[in-house]
Amino acid sequence: MRLPSKMKRRLPWRAALGITLALSVLAKPSCGAATEKIPAHQWTSYLQVRGTVPEGEGGYLALRRLKAFGSGPVGQKGSYYIQFIYKDGNRSNTDGRLFLQEAWLKQAVAGGTLTLGQLKPPFGLERFISDTVLPLIDRSQATDRLVPNGSLGRSFARDLGLQWDGSLGSVGYSAGAFLGNGANETIHGIGPLLVFRLLWDATSTLPSAGAVPKGVSPQASARRFGMAAAVSWRRDRGLNLSGQLPGSRVLGYRRFIGRDVRETLGFSLTDRNATLQAEGFFAQYHSGEPGLPSTSATGGYVQAAYRWPHGWESAIRLETLNAGFAGPSADSLTAWTVGITDRLRGDREKLQLNYTREQVGGPRGSQRIWLLQYQRYLLD
């Protein structure tokens, strides 16, 4: 959903920060008996400031994210969620503009819940982990590019649509129908985008080993294992997929006509304060235009993280991405990332340092990048 044209103009950091603070203050929940039985209307906000230093190049400082978001009740069984985002200095086409990133209404009905609005299609695991709690600064490139609306204009991986969620025992399922254009993009007859996901979550209590050490998460007493599988199908009529497939613009993927089909399979295992997570993504682009070749893309990652006492966390990830085009392409990527986090006040305030070594096909070859990011919730 795009904001009015006046809001599309570049906003200085101070103006965006002022808007965020104002929303946080005006919508701050009231205290008293009235809020005890009914969930309060709550708003909060946070910012992330990032320094990026590619090895051998000049570094730059950016406002990675400034978000304000809120939720509250609608009637007896409904709820709403609204989220705004502003970012600047990231060398991105979404810099310097205020966007309505997410907005939906959810209603509990017999057998499940129905959600309507601008939201993330139910595809993948990592895509649904908030950027405020990621053990590494960024998500994997496979997640960023190969979910249905990944790297799709100004969509922020969201879309306009309808989603149904239900469960059968320990297995949850989600089915959604979306316009397929991506949020904040012009609606021009693409779609529909159909998505279906299965989630299995198993949690067991571990034998007690005494009190949890200071600074270690209380979840240390539980073991959790989950798996997710999803598939999507979309009809494409002039959809710009060149952001998902680097190097494909010259082939005509900036205005792709045909259909794209995707599958993903992943798991996450948490044992005390250690987490192991992995996902694989598979995408097929079936061209319906003479002269435009069909192609496929694959990618995935394996990531391990550990939360130490006194607020420290470390993580390591191996990821791959291959844009297809008759085997390994000049745009294939293999990357290692290691990171350490000082959780000064949990996820309310923390400092993260990451080092990434990428091996990229084509003339770029290898690349090394340092990232330093500071995160803080506002008006704690």
Asked whether the beta carbons of 258 and 285 are under 8 A apart, the reply is yes
- When pLDDT is cut at 50, 70 and 90, the band that residue 249 belongs to is low
**36-40, 115-119, 358-362: segment of lowest average pLDDT:** 36-40
Q: What percent of the chain has pLDDT over 90?
A: 66
pLDDT tens-digit series, residues 81-119: 999 999 999 999 999 999 999 999 999 998 999 999 999
3-state secondary structure of 203: strand
Looking at residues 119-133, what average pLDDT do you find?
Answer: 97
Report which residue type is found at 66: L
How far is Cα 182 from Cα 244, in angstroms, rounded to an integer?
Answer: 13
Task: State yes or no: pLDDT of 29 exceeds 90.
Answer: no
The span from the CA of 299 to the CA of 283, in Å, is 9
Asked if 104 and 92 touch (Cβ cutoff 8 Å), the reply is: no
For residue 334, the enclosing domain spans 5-377
> Is residue 291 predicted with pLDDT exceeding 90?
no
Q: How many domains does the chain have?
A: 1
| Confidence bin at 156 (pLDDT 50/70/90) | very high
pLDDT category, 202, cuts 50, 70, 90?
Answer: confident
| Confidence check: pLDDT of 213 > 80 | no
CATH of the domain at 335: 2.40.160.10
User: What SS3 class is residue 380?
Assistant: coil
Mean pLDDT across the chain, nearest whole number?
Answer: 86
* CB distance 89 to 62 below 8 Å: yes
**pLDDT greater than 80 at residue 205:** no
The answer to whether residues 70 and 27 touch, using CB atoms and an 8 Å cutoff, is yes
Q: Please report which confidence band the pLDDT of residue 1 belongs to, taking 50, 70 and 90 as the band edges.
A: low
Does 28 have pLDDT greater than 70? no
Pairing of strands 159-168, 344-347: unpaired
Mean pLDDT of 340-350: 97
**pTM for the complete prediction?**
0.84
Host H or E run for residue 23: helix 13-26
Of the chain, the end-to-end C-alpha distance in Å amounts to: 29
**pLDDT tens track for 70-82:** 999 999 899 999 9
The torsion defined by the Cα of 39, 119, 130 and 40, in degrees rounded to 10, comes to -10
Q: Residue 138: its pLDDT value, please?
A: 98
Name the band, by pLDDT with cuts 50, 70 and 90, for residue 360.
confident
User: Which whole number is the average pLDDT over 258-271?
Assistant: 97
> What digits encode the pLDDT tens for the residues 292-323?
889 899 999 999 999 999 999 999 999 999 97
